[in-house]
Chains A and B, each alone.
Chain A
């Protein structure tokens, strides 16, 4: 299976809260897991990414947690701000010569951070 399942579909938090977005995959051949952030009227922008040999990666207020045995990974946004309100997509790629840069995206999570 090449699907990536993402939840929740939408999420509302207060400023300073820690929204958590979860993704699950089936194909263990996936070896690169990026998160993209998309604002209305804009294209997705790479936020942070992780490979299966690492269980956690932090970049600023954004953290990816990766559970290889459960085939799940999640995005945590620390001290969330209203400017973080956007749609977030998880994705996965095979990283093989034959697969190129092809990304399989999750369904997306619309995050709203209230002031």
Chain B
């Protein structure tokens, strides 16, 4: 069974640009969550989607947004990039909503110059 797939794995952007990251969950999983991982702040929750609806949102500015499609695939977008947005963005899927049993992808490493 294929795991969570994230694309692209690495990308470099400059300040002010925007970026879109993609996540394909494990087949059959309907919930997709996004986390930001940095050395200073650790793992921080961005948002969670279930059945194409955003169910939860973390404490991030509105520049961070996401969506989920009918096939459960998800994208997140960061607009007007800042240097502090450099991080590993992790997508996780779970079979059900309201479970802590998350299966993470390998992440998309974003560098903002």
Do A and B associate with each other?
A: yes
Do residues B90 and A97 form an inter-chain contact, with CB atoms below 8 A? Answer: no
Do residues B106 and A101 form an inter-chain contact, with CB atoms below 8 A? Answer: no
B71 CB–A CB distance under 8 Å: no
Residues of A within 8 A of B56 (CB): 98-100, 102
* Size class of the B contact interface (CB-based, 8 Å): 20 to 34
* CB closest chain-A residue, reference B9: A41
* CB closest chain-B residue, reference A34: B100
A contact patch SS:
loop
Residue of A43, A45, A96, A108 most packed against chain B (CB within 10 A)? A43
Q: Which of A43, A89, A103 is the one whose CB lies under 8 Å from B100?
A: A103
The 0/1 profile, CB within 8 Å of B marked 1, for residues 85-115 of chain A is 0000101010111111111111110000000
Chain A interface, number of residues (Cβ within 8 angstroms): 27
What separation, in Å, do the CA atoms of A104 and B58 have in the docked complex?
10
* CB closest chain-A residue, reference B98: A100
Residues of A within 8 A of B107 (CB): 43
The 0/1 profile, CB within 8 Å of A marked 1, for residues 31-50 of chain B is 10101000000111100101
B4 CB–A CB distance under 8 Å: yes
* CB closest chain-A residue, reference B94: A101
Do residues A100 and B105 form an inter-chain contact, with CB atoms below 8 A? Answer: no
Residues of B within 8 A of A54 (CB): none
B21 CB–A CB distance under 8 Å: no
Do residues A89 and B104 form an inter-chain contact, with CB atoms below 8 A? Answer: no
Residues of chain B whose beta carbon lies under 8 Å from any beta carbon of chain A: 4, 31, 33, 35, 42-45, 48, 50, 55-56, 58, 90, 92, 94, 97-107
21 A-B interface contacts by CB (under 8 A):
A34-B101, A42-B106, A43-B4, A43-B90, A43-B105, A49-B100, A89-B42, A89-B43, A95-B98, A95-B100, A98-B56, A99-B98, A100-B55, A100-B97, A100-B98, A101-B33, A101-B92, A101-B101, A103-B45, A105-B44, A106-B42
Residues of chain A whose beta carbon lies under 8 Å from any beta carbon of chain B: 32, 34, 36, 41-46, 49, 89, 91, 93, 95-108
